[in-house]
Structure 1
Amino acid sequence: MITAAINAGDPIEVVKYWDEEGCFALPDGALMRGHAELQAMYEQRLALQPEITTHAAKILQAGDVALVTNVWSTRLRNGEIDGKDSFEGIATLVLRRHADGSWRILVDST
């Protein structure tokens, strides 16, 4: 599960949950695309040692594509962002099923 990989601080493992064409939309509108950019982003974020909890609030599936609404909260164990060490929010994700039956994140808008 991606949450366990994030909590373990393992950016390589986190990226395994992403589609090769994956795109992460940052709050400022910047887009991180592909495994190399996603891994670099997670290396920076995981340095703050986040402890995250998630709950899939809604899942809509159409064939090999799913839209997931995820409720999340995180606490940073090593630092702050803008003077805060805890955050919560709702993420909207699009997942794609692969030939091996696994689901990988194609788009994440947190």
Structure 2
Amino acid sequence: MTNEKVATEPNDLGKFFIEHANAGDVDGLVALYEPNAVLEFPPGHVATGHAEIRKVYEQFVAAAPVLSPGRQHPALVSGDLALTASTLTSGEVTVEIARRQGDGSWLWVVDQPSVVS
């Protein structure tokens, strides 16, 4: 699968994440991140860069999760950086930092998908 959509707003990334995860689209999930992004998932495990993030999401989608959108909080934007956060239906909170790219789109740089439960 390919990621034809680009995030024109920081919170688009969260919406696209749900779509790609539910479709089992590892390429689409990895495409939401900058090449040297950092992801802490599962909790306590840090993956850096597309290759490591891909391995995490290959295992994640192999479990065939069905994700439901939670409550996405308004993005806090300062120049080319944005803090995004969602409260999942499980009560867990995700927090990410996105950066505006040269073409105006947004990609995650740092992703902490399980902060508080």
Same fold, judged at TM 0.5 (above)? yes
Any idea what the Cα deviations from partners look like across 1:55-74, whole Å, max 9, x if unmatched? 3223100011000111224x
* Residue of structure 1 in register with 2:12 after alignment: none
- For the 8 Å contact 1:52–1:72, the answer to whether it is kept is no
TM-score (norm 2): 0.76
* One-letter identity of the residue aligned with 2:82: A
Please list the CA deviations of residues 29-71 of structure 1 after superposition, one character each: whole Å capped at 9, or x if unmatched.
2210100000010000101111112332231000110001112
Matched with 1:34 is 49
Q: Which sections of structure 2, spanning at least 5 residues, go unmatched?
A: 1-15
The root-mean-square deviation of aligned C-alpha atoms, in Å, is 1.5
Report percent identity of matched pairs: 30
Q: Give me the TM-score of the superposition, normalised by structure 1.
A: 0.80
Structure 1 runs of 4+ off > 3 angstroms? none
Equivalent residue letter for 2:101: H
1:91 aligns with 2:106: no
Is the alpha carbon distance of 1:10 and 1:102 closer, same or farther for their aligned partners in structure 2, counting shifts above 3 Å?
same
Structure number with the higher strand fraction is: 1
> What are structure 1's unaligned runs of at least 5 residues?
74-86
